[in-house]
Structure 1
């Protein structure tokens, strides 16, 4: 098990080929995917596309970048998935993109904020990156509150050409960013040499970004 970041309550580790079923349960839950895609994904799609892409990222990206399984320390259960990788979402023009989604059973416990803060700390303190970005649908209030609790700043709104993509898409997506300079001015602690970041439980979480 390759642990990338540790927080107070979670271990963020690399996915393995054995995680397909758990990942499919996450991507196949309409509640989780409500602000992400029109149709939840099937196990076949996860096995043929999503998981192979995650495993490929570990070979192609710098160590510490990619998509990671969030494991709750207390139970050993997978709480969801976090990601930190070169920006690729529609509406972004650069930077390193932060993402997260949690199983509904883990909503409302501050885990999204905890994991996101740890990856931001790793981005700036361990990986020496300059610019972290994220997007979330305007209607996903819980998600953009998580980003703001992490110190990120809303900089603009973009709109998809096909605004009828899903309910709420017509209101656009918010773009958030945080620069290394702003993070340092906020007085954030850098993670340890192993990527560890001790983060408190000070904000309610939300599963999607």
Structure 2
């Protein structure tokens, strides 16, 4: 899958993305906010994760077209609650220095349009309760709050989460 916007290219990960992705996976704040804490300290950890993501095909690299650099990712998962074929769950992260410039909103909106074209009816987006920036982004795109939940991070702790849903 390749999705292009005015400023971004969203595509499946390639093994060659590990070098640029390492900056994201070493970002303590970003990794805590997506439940992948502690951040990586060794490049080999990033290579291993990217190799898994290359094969999974659920992960889209967000590439800034102007400079050709990977700046984050979006993951599109199957519905983990009701196992509906017309429902997906979305997660995302962005390298710190690219936050606050509208890139993630642009990327998420493009992915939502693509999902709608592929007969997906509902999309869930969740964030940790303490992640106010992601909550604001999710709400601004048009997701509606559904409930609070708990995310049990295997490496860190339990997080209170906010769960949002959008009808496409």
- TM-score calculated relative to the size of structure 2: 0.86
- Cα displacement (A) at 1:45: 2.4
Q: How many residues align?
A: 162
- Cα displacement (A) at 1:93: 4.2
1:152-191 correspondence to structure 2 within 5 Å: 152-160=143-151, 165-166=156-157, 169=159, 172-180=160-168
Q: Does 1:139 align with 2:130?
A: yes
Match of 2:53 in 1: 54
- Cα displacement (A) at 1:44: 2.1
Work out the CA distance in 1 between the residues paired with 2:105 and 2:52.
25
Secondary structure of the corresponding residue to residue 128 of structure 1: coil
Match of 2:108 in 1: 116
1:1-209 correspondence to structure 2 within 5 Å: 4-35=2-33, 36-41=35-40, 42-48=42-48, 50-58=49-57, 66-88=58-80, 92-94=81-83, 95-124=87-116, 126-160=117-151, 165-166=156-157, 169=159, 172-180=160-168
Work out the CA distance in 1 between the residues paired with 2:7 and 2:76.
19
RMSD: 2.2
CA deviation string 1:58-117 (max 9, x = no partner): 3xxxxxxx21111112222211111223145xxx44431111111111011011111111
Secondary structure of the corresponding residue to residue 38 of structure 2: coil
Q: Which segments of 5 or more consecutive residues in structure 1 lack a partner in the other structure?
A: 59-65, 181-209
- Cα displacement (A) at 1:160: 4.3
Change (3 A) 1:139 1:129: same
Work out the CA distance in 2 between the residues paired with 1:16 and 1:160.
29
> Quick check: which has more Rg, 1 or 2?
1
Q: Which has the higher contact order (CA 8 A, sep 6+)?
A: 1
- TM-score calculated relative to the size of structure 1: 0.70
Secondary structure of the corresponding residue to residue 74 of structure 1: coil
